[in-house]
Amino acid sequence: MLSYRHAYHAGNHADVLKHLILLQIAHYMGEKAAPFWIIDTHAGAGCYTLDAPHAMKLAEWQEGIGRLWQASGLPPAAADYLDFVRMLNPDGALKHYPGSPWLARQCLRDSDRLRLFELHSSDARLLRENFRTAGRQVNITEGDGLAGLKALLPPPPRRALVLIDPSYETSNDYSAVIKTLQDALTRFATGTYALWYPLLPKREARELPERLKRLGRDSRHKFNWLNASLKVRAPDRQGFGMYGSGMFIINPPWTLEKTLHATLPVLTRLLAQDDNARYVLESETD
């Protein structure tokens, strides 16, 4: 929705999970010589200032990246993620947080490309400012990323990671991501798709992971999938608020599950807000 701006939530526990996994997939794709694209359907502003009014209003980063900032003995994937955040904070004080576009760009080689969509006009303007020196390697479109994805698939190099993370402010978003993935798999069945989703008490949110699993079983394009979710607290008794989030990855790197087995227990401990914190890691191979 046009009212949603990620600046209010930058660096929260959901960003930690999403961005750690994004980096692991991008690293894996960069291990092969062939070029690849990263397509981000809901790019936001690209990077965020944590002491700005938007971020300070909810200060969600304090329960996310703030919990990891001074942590020691992190597993390699978490340490790698933290190193990227430190690149934006060279003086050692946590003042800036990288969005998925900024992180993705750091993983690209000269032959790789980044395609970004952002619907909110203010964030699209900030996104362009943040990438004003990026040149032709980065293409930014102000518009609906789910609709715009169709024209990009299949990408010319036939290798791509598609990150999909809408706000889920309306019930239509849940059906929209299913339809988008159905269409995308028809056009580009071998792509890697990383879908972020919230853990919320509402029915559409609770049903989404199972709908995604059925998509793989019912589709004529069978695929491997990996589902990783992290609950940081018990659901609110009044039914309000996100109590965790997940990433559903279609055609994941074969190394990712092992990496997350080593990483999610530590993230759960560090990000826990009460004794109900749990993680789920499950997969299916065609």
pLDDT, position 182: 94
Range 85-92 contact pairs with CB under 8 angstroms and sequence separation of 24 or more:
88/47
Tens-place pLDDT, residues 147-169:
999 999 999 999 999 999 999 98
Residue written as tokens 């010319």?
Answer: 156
- Which range, of 99-108, 229-238, 256-265, averages the lowest pLDDT? 229-238
Residue 82 included in any domain: yes
Indicate the helix (H) or strand (E) that contains 128.
helix 121-130
Residue 57 included in any domain: yes
Residue 118 included in any domain: yes
Average pLDDT, whole number, for the chain?
Answer: 94
Residue 169 included in any domain: yes
Residue 89 included in any domain: yes
Tens-place pLDDT, residues 68-117:
999 999 999 999 999 999 999 999 999 999 999 999 999 999 999 999 99
Domain holding 189: CATH number? 3.40.50.150
Structural domain total, the chain: 1
CA distance 94 to 115: 28
pLDDT, position 1: 45
pLDDT confidence band for 5 (50 / 70 / 90): confident
Q: DSSP secondary-structure letter at 91?
A: T
pLDDT, position 43: 95
| Angle at the Cα of 177 from the Cα atoms of 153 and 41, rounded to 5 degrees | 55
pLDDT confidence band for 8 (50 / 70 / 90): confident
Answer yes or no: are the C-beta atoms of 17 and 247 closer than 8 Å: yes
Mean pLDDT of the region 176-196? 96
Task: Find the domain containing 13 and state its range.
Answer: 6-284
Indicate which residue of 123, 165, 183, 236 is catalytic: 165
Angstrom distances, CA of residue 273 to CA of 41, 253, 266: 30, 30, 14
Indicate the helix (H) or strand (E) that contains 261.
helix 256-271
Residue 1 included in any domain: no
pLDDT, position 168: 93
Residue 114 included in any domain: yes
Residues 106, 107, 110, 112: what is their CA dihedral angle, to the nearest 10 degrees?
A: -120
Catalytic-residue membership of 80: no
Global pTM? 0.96
Answer yes or no: are the C-beta atoms of 201 and 236 closer than 8 Å: yes
